[in-house]
Structure 1
């Protein structure tokens, strides 16, 4: 009986899981990601962004009246940040999907937008861990922090090896982007492409590196260029 259960678990469960993922509607995955992100954003705003934090972080640059106005406006328009979050995810998933689709085109394979979109959303999981770590870190470890600490905190990134105050503005984003979670994202993206498209892991990783990797490099160059030219 135990042997029969082991065989069923080994051969049927994975197949059923993949069939379920293939048939699962993209909109349900997207809605789940958005709700989870909203919950984490709310938790960070509620537990970490106190009025005292604003006063302590901005008192040297702004008057009390201006700080109070910032706090009032942040509370008044907080709902916009949640709405923007949904659009940001949609734009990100769409752009990455289009980049991957272009990559497959150059590899002489036509892949539907929907299935690539699903792979992109499923690969997003590592980045959803980051806000949890951030919340835990500032609640229990670094309990004395500023707005800048919250803004530039990204666990397991190259940025954490430097003092942000000593860096130029254009250096911050590339160092922040160079992190363990980005690497895991690449691997997961290749894994889900392999599973959903029934291709080899080497082929899927090749597509991810040549398409998404190139697009990410161009994006970093673009942001760095803007930072250099806009920074005072």
Structure 2
């Protein structure tokens, strides 16, 4: 069940909270697919693999449950969450409203430095499209949207957004893997950037909302093609 590839040497990092380090590593493994949806997480095995006691792993499980990545079942154990298509639709609906808010807020307040940060990230995304590197693009895609929310300066909005993104991550990866999707996705991101950088509040909000709807539609196509049932 456990893939040790890329595991951090958590036990060697003494100056940082072990539960936090364990949480970040398990989060990485879940989002990378090393710990797949539905997998039961063995507390003792994970503790041994990460070189820590079982206490930090137990605390990490609680944090991961709060972030929407795992579920704990009484007398059964801890499992990586599985998101149904119906639940994904509900999450996309909430995300569309949040992203519209992000677009409007950021377009009204964006600074030249923030514009520069977004442009630099978009340039990196374009390079990954040229290389047809889906994994690298997916990571930058997440970073781009996270940066947009961070730039609003609203911490509660960021916390809520990140939980929703965690829950949708596997669906998004399968959707991005569809042939021809990367160029479309990067064009959408460029259009979002243009509206926000121009300070077009209404247009930025609308294009952010539409981007989420288009992402939901890609998820449905991926699922219908079979990719959604076994995300990469």
TM-score under structure 1 normalisation?
0.29
Q: Which has the larger radius of gyration?
A: 1
TM-score under structure 2 normalisation?
0.29
Give the structure with the larger strand fraction.
2
Give the structure with the larger helix fraction.
1
